[in-house]
Amino acid sequence: SFSTVNLIIHNLLYLLDPGYYEEEIGPESMNAKTKDCSMNEPIGRLFMEQKYCGVCLLDQPIRCRHCSYCQKCVLTFDHHCFFLGNCIGEKNRPIFFTYITMKACEAAVFLIFAWKLKSAYLSLSWPIFCVSVGSLGILAIAFFNLTYLIGFHLFLMFKNLTTWEYFSWKKISYLKEFNYSEGSPFSTSVGSNLKKYWFPNGQKHFLWKPYRFLPKEQTSLIYIGDKLENSKETSTNSGK
């Protein structure tokens, strides 16, 4: 039944690793990724800001975020789900989407079954009738909320975005330079986005890099040691 399957998936989401990151990326690999991002001079230059987690004591890969509830860094962080008691990240996003879809189907089955028995409600006593109708109202609200959540995560899936990126675009160092209306810089094609969403274990973790670069005239930022400099000024000074 739907309830049994949902209970199993719920426990899996609670117990499984969402994509905790525990290894430090060395300076060489960070420099290599920065080099990859800045090679496309005709399109534009982009320098990715390296983030260091002072709690986990490691360099975070791009799209990784520290969860203050789990007290761990999560790869391709989406959100922390209080209902499940775990983070949703790179490794358990497919299971989470399956879970909310199954929950919506379960709610729909109960609503259809209740609608077929609507004539029986008239024979119930007034208190039981009120409790039954109230329960169905709560179930209907849950169904529409789950339907909205499914649609929202389908949108994120097709666009190669996470919930955190969608709501905090202007606050995220690797996204705030980009125009939100142009979509995620990590998005390539719908097929590729779906593959990366549903099959995250082809490698240890994704080394994300943007496939869309900033225009030449737009200012991007680069960290040189501990000093933050403007990339235009840097390129101007290097040309002298």
* Residue in the structure block whose two tokens are 């959100």: 79
Tokens of 159: 């666009």
Q: Which of 81, 87, 105, 130 is the catalytic position?
A: 81
Contacts for 37 with CB less than 8 Å, ≥ 6 apart: 46, 47, 48, 209, 210, 213
Tokens of 60: 């975070």
SS3 content of the chain, % helix, strand, coil (to 5): 50, 10, 40
Sign of the CA dihedral with 97 first, then 100, 102, and 104 last: negative
Is 67 catalytic? The answer is no
> With contact defined as beta carbons under 8 Å apart, do 47 and 223 qualify?
yes
CB atoms within 10 A of CB 139: 15
CA distance 100 to 107: 11
CA distance 90 to 81: 14
> Length of the chain, please?
240
The one-character DSSP state at 89 is -
CA distance 237 to 215: 20
Active site residues: 81
